[in-house]
Structure 1
């Protein structure tokens, strides 16, 4: 006879699952036993939150749901941040949690939390499995829902008595491909007419353009139309940053240098924009027209209300739109002349030698040691804005950052997942000291998995982004500083290697040596964040020219 847990694991194998990440508990022991004899590898993490971040990153990089597991109550609650991370970031993921028996209870309400209700606002679907016979169907449906546009997390709760119940062998439900419809001809015709009339068109690549299947279609659209483009933070790298039509990344909401092009545009073609991101530009009644092209309709917001929509499978829809435009756009390159000035000012002082190094220098040196296919995984902090603005990408999904939930603590687990998926590529986690310590225990997991991974810790002994905002708002510098362990000894205690950068010119060689040595290596360097105020406040305040008003802008919004 087969147990419910055997059916669950067989259904996961049927979906092609290779890894399950998590911390099982008493209520999952039947599942653990079923996994022991399966083709699926259980990756035991040191915290459930990290397991969820890893599963979500698997979904982001492959387009196939990653799977994480926890016990009931406290373990399941530790998955909640990861569920929100995947939900806002549109990453397909399956969360499996245990529960006490539902047919009888020998422990009353001990550890029981209503996880179905808890997960409901954070997932696309959440269900308790109440019958062993329903397991193959529920698992197939969970994967289908997780992968459908807009992708996201799905939660299944398996009570321990259902997991242990014997049941006859049941057939699995075979997966089948689901193609999305392309956009209607009428919508494509309307969009083409607006683009042909535009005098200064501009393309924006948003979060949804990072779907693994889409890069070729985006690059083809840019090549055939010759319209210059910029990207949001989460759209970074979907078309190569070295492309001669690339104008930069909107790391701030307005009045950064890339906004010189945005403010001059009379039409913005927003491809894959998802308003979960902090706004890359602020629409106003006197601003450019906007065409929304994506898998799903636009969310109308105070700062985003498109004038036309092209909704459907983005790649094929863009190909059809290109056919209507190719060779007919006389003004496609009107904004291209701004490119050199925008990119030159963004990379100003990138090789400055002061110590501690500036964010610009750190971004520059990281770019020097990372090959075109190298993957940089950013935690959340002030440095994320600098990497978004200054780091040039050459291949899709080579900068992983979170500008949706924007949670701290995800940088190391996401890098671990990237290193597992792509063992032959260089993978670098960039973390602030605050974000690193939120899941630093996963160094042990990375060492145990024998990953090749470098972790760069930017050390400023405080929560740097909030301290910056505190200063900008004229509050006293108070309540946001802390002490750190010796990160070199800390890494060594977990069996990793550690090194400390004590001169700016040593940063790039230290990273290069860490990659060449292999294994898990922590490199720690202090950072001079005075550039936050000089560049992102004072310089932009005094030097940004509003092209519509023709005069200097005296204020700007925070990123």
Structure 2
């Protein structure tokens, strides 16, 4: 006979789980005791359940295997909901295990009891209460399968106290061998014909393409046939952005150079499109209304003659601005490989990318502008350039959510997949530091930097203690403007008075040191580069307080870029 909590741990081991992140409560003590005897799984005790969920989700993003997080019932479970939505929208496989009072016999009334299964249902792929020890193997296998299946996301299992203490004769269920379906041959042939017939095709690389093999296939396609490409924010780094055919990242909603590149195309191959990201282009339903200023309001309204090919694991989710003419549905890497082979057999390719390359020259010139700006506090363009110079090719930056996310999406050239972790799905604050900690655990030999606004950092700043306790090597760069800068930018853009969004901060250097981390403060713009290198090269947890100046955000992002791009 096996105790149910022991069986749950064995089932997780069977799935290859290495970490469980979280905060146990009294309802989890059977599971905690069982976990203490695991030779494979390490408990990462955090200081908040939300951070545990962010870490588990990020592990899932890197590995493709479900990250696991743990909480007790009631408030512990409610603290996981933001992380559940973060994983669900962001396509990151994650399993949440929450405790519960005994379900067969309880003497505590409704104390702390919420219907957590029902609460999790709308924000997960699967939410289930374990009501029998015998069902644990099948429920764990099903939950993990769904979490990891495209599109990946969050799943939830609730383990009541009395079920955890039951005995059973069951054993874990091994994972089955699964091969993803591949795209139909006819769809591939039609795609090849349309790409060959185009005059100026472009690739738009989205969230679903951010997979290791897909990155390899897309790089080969671009290298062999010279097709320009743009990325969404969650597609950054799928192809090395130093590539001469990289047209930019759709960081702004409208009016950027990347939108002009898409306008220059007569065929858009949309790879791994996910509706959780703001669309980099709108398809037209009939003719556009007279006098509409679509440059200002929309990403790009592509002409009625512009065709769109949807290449993804799943069929297109059609909405008023996205209704592709051709869908290639199946494993993306395999589909790109088949398209590449089909194009190699053609002798009628006659493309003209002159206009796109003209847009690229303007894009690259603007990205270079401001890299040497010596003003202090540090300006965003200089900040991004210094971080890029300090990070090695395989270095990982993990962004929290704030106005700097737009600057890094536009100006930071990603050299590989999952080297720029930003959240353009739920777009939650507070995830930067926990995601960097998970990045370090999964990639212990690589340089890792969390980049956080002062507002987002303070939402999970207590995890500095976790990072120090675990002996991590990472740098946390705090961009300090004493306000919620993203919302101030929007406030200015909408013509409202600058009001209600400023606050005070602690002394971040002393704050870091109080946890046992190394605290640093940028005193001049010239001092930023050597300080970044020092922190990245010195073991331990480092926090850098860097004052930033966002006063030109509105002018540059809302006026200058649009004027320059429209003039091309």
Q: Which TM class, normalised by the smaller chain length?
A: over 0.9
Shift of 1:211: 2.4
TM-superposition CA deviations, 1:358-388 (whole Å, max 9, x none): 1100000001110000000000000000000
State the match for 1:542 in structure 2. 563
State the match for 2:73 in structure 1. 72
State the match for 1:556 in structure 2. none
Change (3 A) 1:269 1:260: same
2:471 is aligned with 1:450:
yes
User: Which one of the candidate residues 307, 314, 317 is aligned to 1:299?
Assistant: 317
SS of the residue 1:68 aligns to: strand
Shift of 1:203: 0.4
TM-superposition CA deviations, 1:191-214 (whole Å, max 9, x none): 122211211110010011112442
1:228/1:332 contact within 8 Å kept: no
TM-superposition CA deviations, 1:144-192 (whole Å, max 9, x none): 1111111111100011100011223x22211123111111112112212
State the match for 2:86 in structure 1. 85
2:64 is aligned with 1:63:
yes
Shift of 1:546: 6.6
State the match for 1:557 in structure 2. none
State the match for 2:281 in structure 1. 281
1:253/1:282 contact within 8 Å kept: no
User: Which one of the candidate residues 413, 419, 428 is aligned to 1:398?
Assistant: 419
User: TM-score when scaled to structure 2?
Assistant: 0.94
2:205/2:272 contact within 8 Å kept: yes
SS of the residue 1:6 aligns to: helix
C-alpha distance in 1 between matches for 2:337 and 2:213: 14
1:260/1:546 contact within 8 Å kept: no
State the match for 2:392 in structure 1. 371
Shift of 1:357: 1.1
2:85/2:123 contact within 8 Å kept: yes
Shift of 1:340: 2.3
C-alpha distance in 1 between matches for 2:502 and 2:315: 43
Shift of 1:337: 4.4
2:492 is aligned with 1:474:
no
State the match for 1:255 in structure 2. 255
C-alpha distance in 2 between matches for 1:100 and 1:361: 54
User: Which one of the candidate residues 330, 333, 336 is aligned to 2:350?
Assistant: 330
1:56/1:66 contact within 8 Å kept: yes
SS of the residue 2:142 aligns to: helix
SS of the residue 1:214 aligns to: helix
User: Which one of the candidate residues 375, 386, 402 is aligned to 1:354?
Assistant: 375
State the match for 2:164 in structure 1. 163
User: Which one of the candidate residues 497, 511, 526 is aligned to 2:532?
Assistant: 511
2:35 is aligned with 1:35:
yes
C-alpha distance in 2 between matches for 1:181 and 1:222: 24
State the match for 1:321 in structure 2. 339
2:240 is aligned with 1:240:
yes
2:98 is aligned with 1:97:
yes
TM-superposition CA deviations, 1:404-430 (whole Å, max 9, x none): 000000000000000111111110000
2:49/2:79 contact within 8 Å kept: yes
1:250/1:281 contact within 8 Å kept: no
1:60/1:211 contact within 8 Å kept: no
SS of the residue 1:234 aligns to: helix
SS of the residue 2:234 aligns to: coil
Most deviating of 2-11 and 254-263: 254-263
1:201/1:268 contact within 8 Å kept: yes
Most deviating of 376-385 and 275-284: 275-284
Q: How does 1:455-534 map to 2 (within 5 A)?
A: 455-534=476-555
User: TM-score when scaled to structure 1?
Assistant: 0.96
State the match for 1:211 in structure 2. 211
TM-superposition CA deviations, 1:99-141 (whole Å, max 9, x none): 1111111101110010111111100011111110111111111
C-alpha distance in 2 between matches for 1:294 and 1:248: 21
State the match for 2:298 in structure 1. none
Most deviating of 247-256 and 66-75: 247-256
Shift of 1:281: 2.4
Change (3 A) 1:400 1:101: same
Give the count of matched residue pairs.
Answer: 546
Shift of 1:534: 2.1
State the match for 1:341 in structure 2. 362
C-alpha distance in 1 between matches for 2:440 and 2:38: 23
Unaligned regions of 5+ residues in structure 1, if any? 548-559
C-alpha distance in 2 between matches for 1:221 and 1:94: 35
State the match for 1:118 in structure 2. 119
TM-superposition CA deviations, 1:46-97 (whole Å, max 9, x none): 0000000000000101111100000001100100000000000110110100
